Structures are given as structure tokens and as C-alpha cells.
Chain A
Amino acid sequence: MSLTILIVDDSKLARMSVVKSLKALHPDWTRLEAGNAEEALRLTQNSNPDIALLDFNMPGLDGLDLAAELRDSHPRMMIALISANRQQDVVARAEAMQASFLAKPLTEAALAVFLTKAVDAREKD
């Protein structure tokens, strides 16, 4: 099924990298991009992405705070936090809100694993 995926990262390159992987894994999916949390929230007001990939280290609201917001408005969204910062508490907080944690640099393989999990979850609904 064709899902909509939201990619939030202040690094254009990082977004491009994810897009490249997505093109390879799920070319039919709809892709939404935002450069920061505010932009992401604006986008999600009128849309309902199934999956969100959030960079943790962003100026303004960081990835975890954004995840919390999205959880409220889109309770069934599958969220993954991406970060080079593999700190314990970041990982723990992510898990606390039922978000996955993916380490940077994000390999295609790691992304594929997460997306498969997301699709399975979606199909169960």
C-alpha cells in the first residue's frame, strides 16, 4: 500500500539521503519534507502522514518534542527518531513514546527494517 512519509531534518543533505533510500525501497510512497519542527507541524495540520522520520538535533523544537506534539495530533503515526547522538536518555525518551530510534549515518538496510515494521503495523489496523 502506498503510505505517506514525513521527513524532518534541518540538513538538506540528510533529507536527500533519506529520499534516495526511499526511492529505492518504496518509490510509490508520498514524501513530505520539512526543514524544522514548525514547518513539519504546519504540514501535518492538513495532512495525515503514516510515518515520520525525525532528526533529533534540530534548532528550535528538537525531534523528541516534535514527536510528542505529533503523538497528540496523530496518535497512530509511526515515528522514528534519527540521530547521530546515541545517548541513553535520547533513546529512552524515544522508546517511552513508542518511537523507534535509528542511528546516523542511516543505512538503507536499517531504514528498510524500520519501514517493514511500520507497514506491518499499518496493515494490522
Chain B
Amino acid sequence: MNASTPIHLSELELDALTELVNLGISQAAGDLAMMVRQEVVLSVPRVALVGRDEAIHVLGGAERKDLVAVHQVFEGDIIGRALLIFPEAKSLELVRAVVGGDLSFEDIIELEQEALSETGNVILNGCLGTIANELERSLKISLPEVLHGQSADLFELDPPPESGDTVMLIYIHFAVRERDIDGHIAMLLDMPSLAVLKDLLTAYIRRVAGDVQT
């Protein structure tokens, strides 16, 4: 847990969040597998709540890495953005993994935007949808948009999130058609939403584990 984050989650709340992400990513992997009709081998995702600066740094801010992201906005009891982020170089790997076949570089480029869009959409929806479901909330999720830039750019999107400084950073790693894809999902929530999330987690824990000391 990052001391600089304004939101404070207890150990159990963090555990709960981790479980939710686990469920969400597993669902996403399953959906992806169905979409590409190939096995998707998933590694355990890692979840952390970090400050925005740290998020920028983790995503290669110092090396000024070029990134590609699929961006969706969600609205409901919680409002925020979700970004599925890959290094630029990896994005084509993902496209190749998803599209299959031996395509030329030109073909891949032509398909890249759409393929990333759709794939990102499946992953983010699988993840967000499951989490929302478990928290017994409905979210309105926007259609995907592909963005290119460095990590600093991705966290300075307009209109700015009022989230202050908290980012939920999820590291995911999966393999499709023997290609290793690893990237991040970053969720930026605004301030009121973070408080709502905490409440939702409490309710979830109670539902799942009964009345417990949190």
C-alpha cells in the first residue's frame, strides 16, 4: 500500500479488491479465448494502488517509452477511466496473437487499430463488467478508443480526472498462440468514486465472508 495515496484500504479490503481483479481478468481471458478461438494462458494479475507519478514511472515514464492504450470510460456509481496499456512494440505482438496467421508488417499495421480496439474492449469489458457484477452495480461503459503516447500523456487526459492522485494499477500477463503479452490495466477514479469503492468493498466482504472485523 502506498503511503501517499489518499485512500486507505485495509488489508482485507485490498484482498477483496485483488480477488475481484482476479475474477475480472480471468473472465476477460476467457472471453478473449472465445473471441480468438485459441487458448489464453493467464498468469496471476498483480494489483496495487499507487500515486499518479508512480504509475507514470512504472509505465516507462523515465525512459519515455512509447505506449499504446485502449481507453474506455465508465459511469455509474463509480466514475472513471480504464486504460489497457502496452508498450508500442508489444501491441503488434498482441495483434498478431489475436489475428493469427502469418501477416506482413503492412497487413498488421492496417489491422492494428481495429484489432487493438476490439481486443481491448473484450478485456476491459470482461474485467470491469465482472467487478461491477460482483459489487452488484451496473456501469455504463463507453466504446474503446486507441491512444498513442508516453505514460505521462495517458495520465493527463482531458478532461482531467478529478481523482487527485490515486491509480489502481493492475499488471497482467497472458499468452496467446505462444506469444507472451504483458501489459497493464490502469483505472483512474475520481475522488467521490474512491470513497464509493471503499463502501462497495465493505459490502462485498460482508456478503462473501459474512460479518467480519475489517
Question: CB–CB under 8 A between A and B in the complex?
Answer: yes
**B-side contacts of A19, CB under 8 Å:** 209
Q: What residues of chain A have their CB less than 8 Å away from a CB belonging to chain B?
A: 11-14, 16-17, 19-20, 23, 57-59, 83-89, 104-105
| Residue contact B19 to A85, C-beta cutoff 8 Å | no
Mark B38-53 against chain A: 1 for CB-CB distance below 8 A, else 0. Answer: 0111101000000000
> Which residue of A has the minimal Cβ distance to B24?
A84
Could you list 29 examples of A-B contacts with CB < 8 Å? Answer: A11-B18, A11-B22, A12-B12, A12-B15, A13-B15, A13-B205, A13-B208, A13-B209, A16-B208, A16-B212, A17-B208, A17-B209, A19-B209, A20-B208, A20-B209, A57-B44, A58-B44, A83-B26, A84-B22, A84-B25, A84-B26, A84-B27, A86-B30, A87-B30, A87-B33, A87-B40, A89-B39, A104-B26, A105-B208
Across the interface, A13 reaches (CB within 8 A) one of B12, B30, B40, namely B12
**B-side contacts of A89, CB under 8 Å:** 39, 41
Number of A-B contacts (CB under 8 A): 58
**A-side contacts of B30, CB under 8 Å:** 85-87
Is B29 at the interface (CB under 8 A from chain A)?
yes
Residues of B in contact, count (CB < 8 Å)? 25
> Which residue of B has the minimal Cβ distance to A12?
B15
| Residue contact A59 to B44, C-beta cutoff 8 Å | yes
Q: Shortest Cβ distance from B123 into chain A, in angstroms? A: 15
In the bound complex, CA of A57 to CA of B39 (Å): 17
A87-B42 contact given A12-B15, A13-B12, A13-B15, CB 8 Å threshold = yes
